[in-house]
Structure 1
C-alpha cells in the first residue's frame, strides 16, 4: 500500500517537473517572442502599411491611385543634431517648424519613434538618405500618397488624413496607431474597411547606430501586407468632367442616375476643389483655406443641401392622387377662389395639362382632394388624418428619410405630418388652409438633390427604384454591397405613370422649358421647378429622364439663384443627357450660353472688424443660401411654383 502511494507521489511531482522543463524548453527554444523582446536593441519590428485600394470609373478609367512616398520618423531620446540650421536647410523647413515638430514628438513619447515629416517624394528621399546617417534618432518609413487623375469628384471621393485622438480612442480593436491615415469623408470614409487592406510585419536586424542590416531569420516570421480592395464606380468620368464645366460659376448640384440599377453616373457639388490639395503634407493649411471659403466648397450639396422642391413635387402629388382615386387622368379644375396665381392660362383641364404648364391652382385642388378624402366632419381631424395618409404614400418615394447612399452625412430632409404642425401651430389649431403651400412643393417640405434625381429614376422605372449608389463593385466589377441590389416599390400602379409622363414630355417640348434647351432627336420627359429663396433670387430646379420610352439616364439639376427651372437648370440637364446618349454635343449654342452664364452670388467685402456691439438692423449674411437650408419660417408667396 505504501509503495503504491510512493509511486503516486513520485509520479505527481515528476509530472509537474516535466511540465516546467517543457515550458522552459518552449520559452527558450521554440518561442521567439521573448527572444525578440530581449533583442529589441538589435531586432526591430517594422509595421508595413498596405496600399489603399484604387478607385475606377464605370469604364475602368483610373480615378484615384497611390504614389509611393517616405515619412521621416524621430525617436527624441536618440536624436542628436549638432547644427539645427543646417538640418532645417536640408529638409527645407523653418526653425520654428522644427521646434514644433520636435516638441510634438517629445509629447507623444521620448523613447518611441513618431512622425517628424510626412510624405517626402522619392526625389527628396534620394537626396537626403545618405546624409541622414549623420543624424541618429531619425529613420525613414515607406508610405503612399493618394493621387487623383483629374480635379473632379472631390466631395464624393473624400480624403484621407491623420487619425484623430478621438478616433483612436473609439476604434474597435487596435488596427490604427497614432500617425496612421484614415478615410475622413466621401467614399474614402464609407468604404474604409475595404480600402485600407491588412498590415504586414517585418523583423529586421540593426546595429547599435540603428542602421538596418537585413531581415531576421530570413523573414521566417514576417507577414506580408495585403493591399486594400479596389472600388469600381458607376461614374462616367467624361460625363462628370463635362458636368463640372457646365456648373462653373454656379452654386448647386447635379446628380444623374442609371434608373435600372441605381448607379450614380454623375454627381457634382458646385463649387468644388481639386482633391489633390488635401493629399499633401500641407493638408491643414489647405483645409483651413477651403473651410474659410465663403462659397463652402467642402459642403457636399447633393446629399447635404436641402431645398424646397417647388413644382417638381407636383409629379408626386399627381401620382398620389391618381393612386388614391381622388382624380382621374381627365380631371380638370376651375381657378376661381384659389389663393395662387395661374401660369397656364386656364388650360389645365387634365393631369397632363396641369403638369405640362405647371398650373398652381390645379395642384392646389389636387392636394385639397387628397387631404379631405375621408368622411371626418371635424376640420382639424380631417386635415390631420388626410395629411398623415399623404405622408405615408409620399415617404415611399424616399422623401423625408435617408435613402442610404454610400456617402456619409446624408441629410434626410423634411416631410411634415400632423405632429409637425401640432408643434408649430398647436394641437387642433391648424387645417388645410395653413398647409396648402405643400401642394406645389413649398412650405415646410425639404429635399436634397439626390432625392429628386431618385424621383426622376422612379418615374423612369414606372414605380420602383434601387438605392442610389456610387460604387458598383467592391474588389471586382458588378459587385456592389448587398443593400444596393434590393428593389424598392412605391405602391403606385404603373398605369398612372403613363398619365403623367406625356405631361413631362410636353413640359420640355412645348411647356415651361426654354426653347433653346430642347434637344433634337431625343425625347426627354422633364419637370421644371422654382424653389423659393428669401435671401436672394429663387433657386432653379429641373428633373428629367431620357429616352422617355426606354430611359437610360435620370437626372436632377439645382442651380442656386438661377430663378427659373426652365432657363437655368433645364439647359444643364439636357446638355448632359445629349452628351450621355449621343456621346457628343450638338447644341453648341446652348452649351456656350450655359458655360458662360454666371449665377454666383456676390460675396460681401471684408473689412476690419471693430470692437462694437453688433447692429441688429444690418442686413443678414448673404452667404446663408449656400449653407444647408433650414425649415422655412417665411410666409408662403402664392406667385411662385413654375
Structure 2
C-alpha cells in the first residue's frame, strides 16, 4: 500500500496541474485581458458622476461633456508632428514630454495626452483624427456647477496620480477622482462603475470587432445621486454675509445633526476648477498662503473659544454639585485669584448668580465655579481629569467622525497636559483658571462650537454632524442616527438656557433680537497674536457667537467666527441673527443688520501689517461675481488667546 501511495499522489497532482493549465490557457481568457496584449485593445466607457442636490432637492452639481485625447505610444507612427501641435496649440517640446510620460506608464495601454477639450477643439480634431495614428478621443463628463458657492462643500475633480493608481486598481492613468469635500467622501458612490470593451485587432493593428463576441464586455453604471443636508439658500446667504471677512459659519439642525450651512471665508467659485485652466487656477488658490481660500476654517481652524465656553463651565459645575443656580459670587469688575494676579471683568458687578452670570458673561462667576470643580477632590490632577471627561462627552478634544475628509481634534487639556507643562511643580486651580472662560489651553473648531451649542439646545445629547441626507438607491451610515448623551444631567440645562435667552434681552447681545423668534446665544471675543519680524504682536481680536433658536423645539444651532472682528456683538452676533432669521422665516426683517453686514469690510484690518498687499490674485479677480470673494494679503495668525474685557 505504501509503495503505491507516493506515485498515486504524484499522478493526481500532475493531472490537476495539467487541467488547471488547460483551463487557464484554453478555456479562461481573463488572463489575456489582464496583460498588455498586442492583439486586444481595451476601451473604457466612463459613466456620469452622480448629481448633487441640496436638502430640498435643488440641483447643485450636474455634469457636462468633456473630451480627452488619448494616446497609445507604440501606435504613434508616421504622423505630422508640426500639424498635430498646431492643431492643438501646443509646442513640440510639450508633445515629446507627454509622449514620454505616456510611454513610461505603458507603451501599449492608453494614457491621457490632452485632457478636457472643449466642443470646438473636439470637432476640429475629430475631422483629422485618421491622420494621427495612435491617438483617439475618449468622452468623459466633467462637473457642471449650477451655483457659484459651496466650493468647500463640494470639493473638486482631478486626475489620479501614480500613487492612487498603485493603491487602487480601479483607476488607470488619466482617470478622474474626487478630492476634498463630498466629492472625496462619497467618491465610490458618485463615480459609478466604468464599462469596459475588449476589441480584437489584426496583425496590421486594425480593429476587427469585439473580442470573443463581447463576452467580457461590461456596461458602465452611472454614479448614484445624493442629497446633501445643506440648505442652498442659507449657504449662499452665509457666504454673502462673509464677503470681505475671514472666518467660518457652521449651522446644524440639533435634532438630527444635519449640517445646514458650512461657510468658510474667503471662498471661490467652484467652476474655476473645471476645464483646461483648472491646474493654473488651483495653483493660484494654493499659493495664496495668507487668505488660504482652500483652507476650510469651519472644519480646520482651531481657535480659543472665549466666552461661549462659559456655558460648559457652568454645566460641569452644576453636575459636580459645586454650585447651584442660586450660588452667588461677588464681582467688582475684577477678580483677584492669587496674590499679585488679576482677571479683569466687564460685568456690572455686585453679587451674581448663575442666570445673571451668563447673560452678563461674568469672568468672576465662572472662574470661581471652575476652581471649585478642580478643588473638589483636593487633588488638582484628578479635578482636571473629571472636568476634561465631562467636556469630551460633548464631542470635544476628539475627531468628530463627520462625513467630510478633513478636520481637527481641537484641544481639551488633561492632567497629563499640565504635568508636561509644569514638571516638578505643584500647579493648582489658580494656575489654570483661564480655562474657565475659554482661554488657556482650550482649542475648538467652529464645527465643534456649533455641535456644542446644538447639544445644549437638545438638553444634553447630540447626533454626529453629517452632510449626507439621502443616497439614491443607498443607505446612510447608521452612526449618524446614533444618539450621544453627555455626562451632564438634562435637568441642569434649563437654568443655563434661561441665561442664554436673556443674553439677547438684557445682556451682551441686546439689540440683536429678531421679532417673533426666541433666540438663545452667547457672545465671545478671542485675542489674536502673530509673529512679525520675529516679534509677537497683538492684532485685532476675533469675534465669536454661538446660538440656537427657537428656545423651545430648536430648529437651528449655529456658530460664527469672524477673524479680527473686534468683539462678539460687532460682527459674529449680527451674522448669527441674520442666519437664524433666514432659515426660520425664509426672509429678512432686520434690514439694518443686513445692510451693515453686507456692506461691511475687514480688509483694512487684514492688510494693516502687510507692507505691500497682493491685489492681483484669482480671488480678487472674481470679486465682480455675484458672490464676491476677497483674497488680499493679511496677517497670518499663529496663535490666539481668548479674553473677556469687551462685553463678551
Q: TM-score, normalised by structure 1?
A: 0.87
2:635 to 614, 620, 623: 623
User: Which stretch shows the higher mean deviation, 48-57 or 413-422?
Assistant: 48-57
* Aligned partners of 1:348 and 1:354 also within 8 Å: no
Verify: 1:107 aligned to 2:104, yes or no: yes
1:305-353 C-alpha deviation (Å, 9 max, x unpaired): 0100100001011111111111111111012653222222115622110
Distance in 1 separating the partners of 2:584 and 2:111: 53
1:300 to partner: Cα distance = 1.0
Counterpart of 2:76?
A: 79
**Residue 638 to residue 406, structure 1, CA distance change in 2 (3 Å):** closer
**Residue 72 to residue 209, structure 1, CA distance change in 2 (3 Å):** farther
Verify: 1:327 aligned to 2:361, yes or no: no
Counterpart of 1:604?
A: 610
1:469-480 mapped onto 2 (5 Å cutoff)? 469-476=466-473, 479-480=475-476
**Residue 231 to residue 327, structure 1, CA distance change in 2 (3 Å):** same
Verify: 1:118 aligned to 2:121, yes or no: no
* Aligned partners of 1:304 and 1:410 also within 8 Å: yes
Distance in 2 separating the partners of 1:216 and 1:164: 30
Counterpart of 2:228?
A: 233
User: Which stretch shows the higher mean deviation, 358-367 or 152-161?
Assistant: 152-161
1:564-579 mapped onto 2 (5 Å cutoff)? 564-579=567-582
* Aligned partners of 1:422 and 1:429 also within 8 Å: no
Counterpart of 1:563?
A: 566
* Aligned partners of 1:310 and 1:641 also within 8 Å: no
Counterpart of 2:155?
A: 158
Distance in 1 separating the partners of 2:121 and 2:79: 22
Structure 2, gaps ≥5 residues long: 337-341, 531-538, 615-632
**Residue 390 to residue 45, structure 1, CA distance change in 2 (3 Å):** same
1:281-320 mapped onto 2 (5 Å cutoff)? 281-293=276-288, 294-320=290-316
**Residue 276 to residue 39, structure 1, CA distance change in 2 (3 Å):** closer
1:491 to partner: Cα distance = 2.1
Counterpart of 1:442?
A: 439
**Residue 641 to residue 532, structure 1, CA distance change in 2 (3 Å):** farther
User: Which stretch shows the higher mean deviation, 465-474 or 192-201?
Assistant: 192-201
User: Which stretch shows the higher mean deviation, 254-263 or 42-51?
Assistant: 42-51
* Aligned partners of 1:158 and 1:185 also within 8 Å: yes
1:177-256 mapped onto 2 (5 Å cutoff)? 177-205=172-200, 215-216=210-211, 218-256=213-251
**Residue 439 to residue 119, structure 1, CA distance change in 2 (3 Å):** same
**Residue 359 to residue 122, structure 1, CA distance change in 2 (3 Å):** same
1:247-277 C-alpha deviation (Å, 9 max, x unpaired): 1111000000010000000000110111222
1:140 to 126, 132, 137: 137
Distance in 2 separating the partners of 1:599 and 1:15: 80
1:272-291 C-alpha deviation (Å, 9 max, x unpaired): 11122223233322111001
Counterpart of 1:421?
A: 418
1:198-227 C-alpha deviation (Å, 9 max, x unpaired): 222112355677665654555343111222
1:142-198 C-alpha deviation (Å, 9 max, x unpaired): 212122211222122212212222233334xx2222222222212122222222222
1:436-471 C-alpha deviation (Å, 9 max, x unpaired): 111110111100000010011101111100000011
Structure 1, gaps ≥5 residues long: 377-381, 609-620
1:376-420 C-alpha deviation (Å, 9 max, x unpaired): 3xxxxx222211111111111111111111112210011111111
**Residue 214 to residue 124, structure 1, CA distance change in 2 (3 Å):** farther
**Residue 207 to residue 127, structure 1, CA distance change in 2 (3 Å):** farther
Verify: 1:525 aligned to 2:520, yes or no: yes
User: Which secondary structure state, in structure 1, belongs to the residue aligned with residue 70 of structure 2?
Assistant: strand
2:508 to 486, 509, 512: 512
1:280 to 261, 275, 282: 275
* Aligned partners of 1:531 and 1:540 also within 8 Å: yes
Counterpart of 1:350?
A: 353
**Residue 638 to residue 432, structure 1, CA distance change in 2 (3 Å):** farther
1:467-516 C-alpha deviation (Å, 9 max, x unpaired): 00011223358x4211111100012222211101121111112211151x
Distance in 2 separating the partners of 1:284 and 1:553: 38
1:368 to partner: Cα distance = 1.2
Verify: 1:261 aligned to 2:256, yes or no: yes
**Residue 113 to residue 362, structure 1, CA distance change in 2 (3 Å):** same
**Residue 157 to residue 26, structure 1, CA distance change in 2 (3 Å):** closer
Verify: 1:360 aligned to 2:366, yes or no: no
* Aligned partners of 2:79 and 2:131 also within 8 Å: no
Q: TM-score, normalised by structure 2?
A: 0.86
1:92 to partner: Cα distance = 2.8
1:54 to partner: Cα distance = 2.1
User: Which secondary structure state, in structure 2, belongs to the residue aligned with residue 364 of structure 1?
Assistant: helix
The number of equivalent residue pairs is 604
